[in-house]
Amino acid sequence: MDDDQTNRSLAQTSLWVLRIALLVRALGVGASYLWHPMERESDIYGTMYFEWGWPESTSLAIENAGMWLVVIGAIVIVLANRNKRDLTPFRLAIVIVLANRNKRDLTPFRLVAILMLAFIVFWEIAMASGLAYRGGKFMSQWALGSHGLRIAVPAALLLHTLGFGAKAILRVLYVGAITTFLVHGAQAWFGSPVFITMIIATLQSYFDCTIDQSQVEQILKFIGAMDFCVVAAILLLARSRSGVLRKLMLGTLLWMAFWGLVTAVGRTTGASLGAYPETLLRIVHLGGPLVLYVEWVRHQSTGSSVAQPNPEVQHHLPCEQPKLT
Amino acid sequence: MRTTKTYLIFLRFFFCFFLASVAAPVQADVEEDTRPRNVRVVWLRNPSTTATLIWDTVKPTTDNSVRIQQHGAEEARTHKARWNESYSYADKENVDLNYHRVLIDGLLPSTRYDVEFESDGQKSRRLYFVTAPDDNRSMTFLFGGDSRSDQRARRSVNEMMAELVTEAQATEDPADDIVGLIHAGDYVATGTSLKQWSRWLGDHELTTAEDGRLLPIIPARGNHDRGRLFNEAFGFKIKDQHNWYGVSFGTFLRVSVLNTEASVAGRQAKWLDQELATNRATHRWLVAQYHRPAYAATKWPSSALIHWVPLFEKHNVDLVCEGDGHTIKRTVPIRNGKQDPTGIVYVGEGGLGVPPRQPKPKRWYLQSPGMCGSGHHVQRLKFEEDTLTYEVVLLGGKIGDRWEKKK
Ligand SMILES: [Fe+2]
């Protein structure tokens, strides 16, 4: 993360990875909390109803409204992005409804996108905080950490839409990835019962392999240690300039993306196909590290001397960038 | 002279009164601190001949014992408490509470035992418990879960349970006699909060009938009961992370208690397979109980659906009791993920003292002939030779649901 990244925008590939990760997670949110036959309520509802004593109907209404906003927001972000060539009927509808020609710098798209993304970030933080506050799951007191990437992905898109450069955005993604791996690593190290069940079930169902629980516990220790190593590698290698170390960083980021995908898929393979929302919810564990990987590759290939200002950002937001370092 | 004498008498009287008024509360406090409280009987193994008796004192005490006497017999035995410890996490909330535990064996089945708990000279009132039958007679249990976050409702439901025990004793039918409480977990909101456990344990005393009959408990661990206090409260080994076990009532009934907070696959699933295979062959009725539901009325199904339900079906368990959802539910009979007259019925979801939730009646397994509802409640399970009768007793005494299973 060099200084030139401050003004440089994320690559279009990265932005699309973030948008798609956001959309897939939102579909997971929709399935889990709205339309799956086994849809349930999150800890936002739980906090309002059980902890604060609000009426159940009010708590449910707020919960469902929030979940719908997350889904709709993600669809808006993906469909109504700011590339004018991608004019969709949906985007057109928003233009008709919200167009305000007097404020060129704050187009309806951006305004909607900013509001939607800000809400999604808030909602993600609220879901994680609710879980941390209410407890009832293994190491759930660290939910803000384990949900790091769920928060960081929409936050990254929000920062981009607000005109922040790559440096700030990547910093948020790095923090999200680190806390996610750290807490999941700790859960693995301390033998999360959910992880044990997931591994045993996946091996049984897909590999016809019956494995002893004590072996799984050993594997989990190894997985936990791997997660800690990944975090350590990122912290140590993020500023490295040597070619070998940079390649190691590249490998680490690729591993994070791969591992994020494997563990997300494991949620379904470790249960049943009906549990697909569990995988969708965790697709940001693939998306976030993938963006870090793409940007690292890009950074290496462009070198530190090439600064690429974000033309869209400058066009839409002429205000000064905040100093981030 | 006389005035001086009167004055001195008055002064002496005043001094004595002053001393007494200062000393009395101190004395009362000491008594209060060492008074045996939160008395409970826990059934973790053969309930016909053994019982775990646990009580608490605020302050640590050195001489702790329970005097036990078969009702009507002359001879009484005194058992010293071998486990006398301060509860874990006491420093966290600055709560003083100590537990004292006695494991008694060699008891006679279906027998009333009068018990008196004593700590450093302070005695409890005379209470009693009845050991479980082992002669295949019919019997009744209370079942419920989730008593963690509405103390007023919890106290009311506990009082109702005590009344149900008393009423059952008064009926003509000995099969009505309520022998114990099967609890599906979530006693407190924060498992590591001794303050919350202390309140729960105090409230549990309200399940004691007016005549002093203690209601033995068969506890399962809920998702909010993390940490060591669950083990300490119910007499498990401190570091026990399994908390799965089976309790036999003769060869008439076997209650298999599972733990959804440990891995449901692996060791526990293996144990369950063995447990059900062994006991299906020897017991008339098989019941399983645990916290997180496989066929949930509001929540996402727990992994029990994948790992335990096939075992329940393989071994034809008679009834499965679940908690966690804060609703009332009874599923249709289920086999292979479908309604099937030979299938297994899942009941429960917990309402012993939590804000009740609205269930999701559109879930296929809750539709008629199944049911779902909402409200503070306890479930009553009556096991007879050929019939299992299930009832939901709502707070206030109304019957919210009734269902029968014939053998
Ligand atoms: Fe629960």
Of B94, B109, B130, the one marking the end of a domain is B130
User: Which chain B residues are Cβ-neighbours of A39 within 8 angstroms?
Assistant: 360
Q: Is the Cβ pair B303, A194 closer than 8 Å?
A: yes
Q: Are residues B198 and B252 in the same domain?
A: yes
Within a domain: residue A315? no
Domain that holds residue A128: 9-307
Token pair 């269930």 is at which residue? B359
| Ion ligand 1 contact residues with beta carbon within 5 A | B 186, 222-223, 324
> Where are the extended beta strands (E) located within B215-318?
217-219, 245-249, 253-257, 285-290
Within a domain: residue A39? yes
User: Which chain A residues are Cβ-neighbours of B298 within 8 angstroms?
Assistant: 40-41
Q: Are residues B41 and B161 in the same domain?
A: no
Q: Is the Cβ pair A197, B264 closer than 8 Å?
A: yes
Measure B401 CA to nearest chain A CA, in Å.
Answer: 23
Of B81, B109, B130, the one marking the end of a domain is B130
Kindly list the strands in the beta sheet with B377-383, ordered across the sheet, starting from the edge strand earlier in the chain: B83-86, B98-104, B51-57, B37-42, B217-219, B178-183, B139-144, B377-383, B387-394, B399-406
Specify whether the CB–CB gap between B119 and B61 falls below 8 A.
yes
Q: What is the DSSP string of A208-238?
A: -----HHHHHHHHHHHHHHHHHHHHHHHHHT
Angle, in degrees to the nearest 10, between helices A56-79 and A89-98 = 110
Q: Is B264 on the interface with A (CB under 8 A)?
A: yes
User: Which chain B residues are Cβ-neighbours of A37 within 8 angstroms?
Assistant: 362-364
Residues of A with CB under 8 A from a CB of B: 32, 37-41, 49-50, 53, 56, 60, 134-138, 193-194, 196-197, 200-201, 204, 212-213, 216, 271-272
Q: Are residues B231 and B182 in the same domain?
A: yes
Q: Is the Cβ pair B267, A193 closer than 8 Å?
A: no
Q: Residue B265: which of A40, A138, A200 has the nearest Cβ? A: A200
Specify whether the CB–CB gap between A137 and A201 falls below 8 A.
no
CA dihedral A227, A233, A234, A237 (to 10 degrees): -170
Q: Are residues B283 and B198 in the same domain?
A: yes
Q: Residue A49: which of B226, B306, B355 has the nearest Cβ? A: B355
Mutate to test the interface with A, among B303, B362, B363 (most CBs of A within 10 A): B303
Mutate to test the interface with A, among B300, B308, B329, B357 (most CBs of A within 10 A): B300
Q: Are residues B106 and B163 in the same domain?
A: no
User: Which chain B residues are Cβ-neighbours of A193 within 8 angstroms?
Assistant: 261-264
Distance B317 CA to ligand 1 centre (A): 23
Domain count, chain B: 2
By C-alpha distance, the chain A residue nearest B224 is: A136
Within a domain: residue B19? no
Measure A118 CA to nearest chain B CA, in Å.
Answer: 28
Q: Are residues B159 and B278 in the same domain?
A: yes
User: Which chain B residues are Cβ-neighbours of A38 within 8 angstroms?
Assistant: 296, 300-301, 363
Within a domain: residue A83? yes
In CATH, what number is assigned to the domain containing residue B357? 3.60.21.10
**ipTM of the shown complex:** 0.88
Within a domain: residue A94? yes
Q: Give the end-to-end CA distance of chain B in Å, rounded to a whole number.
A: 95
DSSP A38: T
Mutate to test the interface with B, among A38, A195, A197 (most CBs of B within 10 A): A197
Q: Residue A197: which of B223, B303, B357 has the nearest Cβ? A: B303
Q: Are residues B81 and B229 in the same domain?
A: no
Burial of B10 (0-12, 13-18, 19+ CB in 10 A): exposed
Kindly list the strands in the beta sheet with B319-322, ordered across the sheet, starting from the edge strand earlier in the chain: B245-249, B253-257, B285-290, B319-322, B346-348, B328-330, B371-373
Q: Residue A196: which of B191, B265, B364 has the nearest Cβ? A: B265
Of B101, B130, B159, the one marking the end of a domain is B130
Specify whether the CB–CB gap between B387 and B407 falls below 8 A.
yes
Q: Are residues B318 and B374 in the same domain?
A: yes
Q: Is the Cβ pair A37, B264 closer than 8 Å?
A: no
Measure B297 CA to nearest chain A CA, in Å.
Answer: 9
Token pair 């409280």 is at which residue? B37
- Residue-level pLDDT, tens digit, chain B, 407 residues: 455 555 555 556 555 555 555 444 445 556 678 999 999 999 999 999 999 999 999 999 999 999 999 999 989 999 999 999 999 999 999 999 999 999 999 999 999 999 999 999 999 999 999 999 998 899 999 999 999 999 999 999 999 999 999 999 999 899 999 999 999 999 999 999 999 999 999 999 999 999 999 999 999 999 999 999 999 999 999 888 899 999 999 999 999 999 999 999 999 999 999 999 999 999 999 999 999 999 999 999 999 999 999 999 999 999 999 999 999 999 999 999 999 999 999 999 999 999 999 999 999 999 999 999 999 999 999 999 999 999 999 999 999 999 999 98
Distance A286 CA to ligand 1 centre (A): 31
Distance CA B263, CA A163 (A): 46
Q: Are residues B269 and B377 in the same domain?
A: yes
Token pair 């909390």 is at which residue? A33
Distance CA B20, CA B26 (A): 10
Domain that holds residue B242: 139-406
Q: Answer positive or negative: Cα dihedral of A32, A34, A35, A38.
A: positive
CA dihedral B145, B151, B154, B155 (to 10 degrees): 150
Within a domain: residue A319? no
By C-alpha distance, the chain A residue nearest B187 is: A136
Q: Is the Cβ pair A197, B296 closer than 8 Å?
A: no
Q: Are residues B113 and B149 in the same domain?
A: no
Within a domain: residue B28? no
Q: Give the end-to-end CA distance of chain A in Å, rounded to a whole number.
A: 11
Within a domain: residue B393? yes
In this structure, the number of other CB atoms found within 10 A of the CB of residue B406 comes to 6
Q: Residue A40: which of B299, B354, B355 has the nearest Cβ? A: B299
Distance CA B22, CA B32 (A): 16
Tell me which amino acid residue A62 is. Answer: I
Within a domain: residue A32? yes
Q: Is the Cβ pair B357, A272 closer than 8 Å?
A: no
Q: Is B75 on the interface with A (CB under 8 A)?
A: no
Q: Are residues B194 and B124 in the same domain?
A: no
Domain count, chain A: 1
Within a domain: residue A252? yes
CB pairs under 8 A between A and B: 68
Measure A32 CA to nearest chain B CA, in Å.
Answer: 8
Within a domain: residue B8? no
Within a domain: residue A75? yes
Read off the tokens for A182: 């750290």
Helix (H) or strand (E) holding B143: strand B139-144
- Residue-level pLDDT, tens digit, chain A, 325 residues: 444 555 578 899 999 999 999 999 999 999 999 999 999 999 999 999 999 999 999 999 999 999 999 999 999 888 776 554 444 566 555 555 554 444 445 667 778 888 999 999 999 999 999 999 999 999 999 999 999 999 999 999 999 988 899 999 999 999 999 999 999 999 999 999 999 999 999 999 999 999 999 999 999 999 999 999 999 999 999 888 788 898 999 999 999 999 999 999 999 999 989 999 999 999 999 999 999 999 999 887 765 433 344 444 443 333 333 333 2
Helix (H, G, I), strand (E, B) or coil at A280: helix
Q: Is the Cβ pair B266, A32 closer than 8 Å?
A: no
Q: Is B263 on the interface with A (CB under 8 A)?
A: yes
Measure B362 CA to nearest chain A CA, in Å.
Answer: 8
Q: Are residues B152 and B277 in the same domain?
A: yes
Task: Report the predicted TM-score, pTM, of the whole model to 2 decimal places.
Answer: 0.89
